[in-house]
Amino acid sequence: MIIGQQKAIEALLEMLSPYDNILLVGCHGCVTVCRSGGEKEVEILSSTIRLARETAGRPIEIREVTLERQCDPEYLEVMRPYLEDYQAVLSIACGAGIQFVAEKFPAARVLPGLDTTFIGVTEQQGVWAERCQACGDCVLHLTGGICPVTRCSKSLFNGPCGGTTTSGSCEVNKEIPCGWMLIIDRLRSTGQIENYRKILPMKKWRSSRDGGPRKIQREDLMG
Amino acid sequence: MLPCSGRVEELTLLRAFEKGADGVMVVGCLEGDCHYLTGNLRARARVKRVAGILDKVGVGAERVEMFNLSAGEGTKFVQYANDMVEKIRGLGPSPVNVARQRKAG
């Protein structure tokens, strides 16, 4: 899922300073699961902002709405009736959701309440970690199901580099396990170590961000 | 009254301040003695989060506090409640209430 975290309240209050009423929009998708932008977080943030503004002597009116997903046009329609009554929209969806709100409602002033951080997994309750950089050309079948683009700090394709410590951590940060040590251990434990002896060719980064904003079109699904 | 302090959510506490509370005390069972295993630990973590929020919005972290005691410790409950009331009296009205009164003239 897409993992995000809310911006600091000080930054949000600064962003909201020109406004006396706002629409605060959450998302029932990924950001609900990573506890940063779902219905509960909308309520908590709304209450937080109201308390701050009242304490500062300048109350703010907030309407709360949480959409099924902010990245699908049909769900965005739910917020349309409220738009003209509010000076700005504070969205706590991921960057895709926030941008889609701005795109679909050209007159709206849309503000980001969240920093979108990475595509990742829930390692344990309250702990999320990055697993995918959406490079567009998956090689997990060659690397034991462990991504060299994401798990290696340098995204090496024929690692490890010389920066691996004797305890198996990365020179970038000793809390980060060496991605290539993970790959080699996994290839060995699953009887696929011969994969490691193959030199992986240079990666074509064009399928990643280097080729510009990406788009997928499925003719079988397009209306 | 809630069946478990684990049911106390951040919003429960924040709304109390929005509705005019000068301070909020959360009383849960003794740590390690939760009927639902970790309800009181969850409550403590949420109280800590709310204290952080109250600090940042200018209300003050010290206006919310978590206490732990068993159902048989009535005297201790009274003592904790009196201590909390005393502390909040010392702090004075919540800055939210002060701002509201100022606005009302």
Residue A105: inside a domain = yes
Residues of A in contact with B59 (CB under 8 A): 51, 55
**pLDDT tens string A53-73:** 999 999 999 999 999 999 999
Asked if B58 lies within 8 A of A56 by C-beta distance, the reply is yes
Same domain? For A23 and A88 the reply is yes
Residues of B in contact with A8 (CB under 8 A): 56
B37 in A contact zone (CB under 8 Å):
no
Enclosing domain of residue A12: 2-118
Complex confidence, ipTM: 0.95
**pLDDT tens string A135-176:** 999 999 999 999 999 999 999 999 999 999 999 999 999 999
Residue A51: inside a domain = yes
Name the 3-class secondary structure at A118.
strand
Asked if B96 lies within 8 A of A54 by C-beta distance, the reply is yes
Same domain? For A26 and A91 the reply is yes
Could you give the percent of chain A with pLDDT greater than 90? 97
Mutation site for B-interface testing, chosen from A41, A47, A64, A124 by largest number of B Cβ within 10 Å: A47
Residues of A in contact with B99 (CB under 8 A): 54-57
Asked if A57 lies within 8 A of B10 by C-beta distance, the reply is no
Q: State the average pLDDT over residues A104-110.
A: 98
**pLDDT tens string A87-105:** 999 999 999 999 999 999 9
Q: What is the per-residue burial (b if ≥16 Cβ within 10 Å, else e) of B5-39? A: bbebbbbebbbbbbeebbbbbbbbbeeeebeeeeb
Could you list the beta-strand ranges (E) of B23-73: 24-28, 64-68
Residue A64: inside a domain = yes
Q: Give how far A151 is from chain B: nearest CA, Å.
A: 31
Count how many domains chain B has: 1
Enclosing domain of residue B34: 5-104
Same domain? For A10 and A113 the reply is yes
Residue A216: inside a domain = no
Residues of A in contact with B18 (CB under 8 A): 47, 50-51, 54
pLDDT band at B7 (very low <50, low <70, confident <90, very high): very high
Could you list the beta-strand ranges (E) of A92-213: 110-112, 114-124, 127-132, 169-170, 173-177
Q: Which residue has the higher pLDDT, B35 or B95?
A: B95
Q: Among residues B97, B67, B69, B71, which one has the least CA distance to residue B84?
A: B67
Asked if A51 lies within 8 A of B99 by C-beta distance, the reply is no
Residue A19: inside a domain = yes
**pLDDT tens string B20-74:** 999 999 999 999 999 899 999 999 999 999 999 999 999 999 999 999 999 899 9
Amino acid letter at A39? E
Report d(CA A10, CA A18) in Å as an integer.
14
Judged against a pLDDT cut of 90, whether residue A79 lies above it is answered with yes
Q: What is the CATH number of the domain that holds A102?
A: 3.40.50.2300
Question: Using CB atoms and an 8 Å cut-off, which of residues 164-223 of chain A contact chain B?
Answer: none
Residue A123: inside a domain = no
pLDDT of B41? 96
Residues of A in contact with B95 (CB under 8 A): 55
pLDDT of A50? 98
Same domain? For A113 and A164 the reply is no
Residue A214: inside a domain = no
Same domain? For A66 and A148 the reply is no
B51 in A contact zone (CB under 8 Å):
no
Same domain? For A113 and A140 the reply is no
**What is the Cα Rg of chain B in Å?**
15
Residue A223: inside a domain = no
Same domain? For A99 and A66 the reply is yes
Same domain? For A114 and A13 the reply is yes
Q: Give how far B34 is from chain A: nearest CA, Å.
A: 19
Amino acid letter at B64? V
Count how many domains chain A has: 2
Q: Is the full-model pTM beyond 0.80?
A: yes
Same domain? For A90 and A163 the reply is no
**pLDDT tens string A7-48:** 999 999 999 999 999 999 999 999 999 999 999 999 999 999
Beta bridge partners of A134: none
B95 in A contact zone (CB under 8 Å):
yes
Same domain? For A54 and A80 the reply is yes
Residues of B in contact with A54 (CB under 8 A): 18, 96, 99-100
Q: Which residue has the higher pLDDT, B2 or B88?
A: B88
Report d(CA A142, CA A89) in Å as an integer.
45
Q: Give how far A201 is from chain B: nearest CA, Å.
A: 48
**pLDDT tens string A112-123:** 999 999 999 999
Judged against a pLDDT cut of 90, whether residue B105 lies above it is answered with no
B54 in A contact zone (CB under 8 Å):
yes
Q: Give how far B10 is from chain A: nearest CA, Å.
A: 7
Q: Among residues A10, A21, A3, A7, which one has the least CA distance to residue A134?
A: A3
Judged against a pLDDT cut of 90, whether residue A215 lies above it is answered with yes
pLDDT of A223? 80
Judged against a pLDDT cut of 90, whether residue A178 lies above it is answered with yes
Asked if A48 lies within 8 A of B57 by C-beta distance, the reply is yes
B11 vs A10, A44, A57: nearest CB: A44
